[in-house]
Amino acid sequence: MAAAYLGGSPETLVEGPAALPLTLLFLADTLRMGAAVCVGLALARRVTSPGVALLIAGVATAADLYSFLAGPTQTLVEGGPDGGPTIFGYLLGYLLVWFPTFGFPLGFALGISDFIFLALFAAMSGHLRLRHPLPTLVLGCVAVLVAILTGLLLEIALPALPFVALSFLLANAIPLYSSFIDRRNV
């Protein structure tokens, strides 16, 4: 938060790129992602069955879609009644990882929750012995990239969590299916 408060925000890049704001933004984003990964790894230790992993993927996707389409995230992004940012909109900036792009200092952003769930799904994959966590992590990163590219091509913001949850299901489809078949035959 200190790095973001001292000038590590994308708004400071509107006048043009500068070394200090870019460095502070990089530091703030790196620390946000590191904290998100730690939270995801800690949460994964509490998941004890593939059924719970599926429930987490489904509920997280539904909650993210609701929040994005009609809930708090939409309200925060749209702003207050006059169209201006609210205090919660400013606070939202602390929960986003910003990726400035050429010509657009604000670029695009991903929520730290996307990184929490990416780490959670990769760790659950290894913890539940569904499959090795590396394929889950790689496919999750590809899913985030697909979400970003789709949003940029369609020129709309898209939530990345549904893409990440789908990648978890695809990477672990056979082990998940096998765990339910084995449990039914017992």
What per-residue confidence (pLDDT) applies to 41?
Answer: 94
Instruction: Using pLDDT thresholds of 50, 70 and 90, give the confidence band for residue 17.
Output: low
What per-residue confidence (pLDDT) applies to 114?
Answer: 93
pLDDT at 182 over 60: yes
Residues 67/73, Cβ–Cβ less than 8 Å? yes
Residues 89/76, Cβ–Cβ less than 8 Å? yes
Highest mean pLDDT among 11-20, 95-104, 144-153: 144-153
User: Residue 145 and residue 164: Cα distance in Å, rounded?
Assistant: 10
Q: Which residues contact 108 (CB under 8 A, 6 or more apart)?
A: 98, 99, 101, 148, 151, 152, 157
Indicate the pTM of the whole model.
Answer: 0.82
pLDDT digits (tens, 9 = 90+) for 51-83: 899 999 999 999 999 988 887 777 666 665 555
Q: How far apart are the first and last CA of the chain?
A: 51
User: Residue 112 and residue 98: Cα distance in Å, rounded?
Assistant: 10
Residues 160/60, Cβ–Cβ less than 8 Å? no
Residues 170/121, Cβ–Cβ less than 8 Å? no
* Burial class (CB within 10 angstroms; exposed 0-12, middle 13-18, buried 19+) of 104: exposed
The string of DSSP codes covering 156-186 is: S---SHHHHHHHHHHHTHHHHHHHHHHHHT-
Residues 106/100, Cβ–Cβ less than 8 Å? yes
- Annotated domain spans of the chain: 33-184
pLDDT digits (tens, 9 = 90+) for 73-112: 776 666 655 555 566 666 676 778 877 665 555 667 788 9
Return mean pLDDT, the chain. Answer: 80
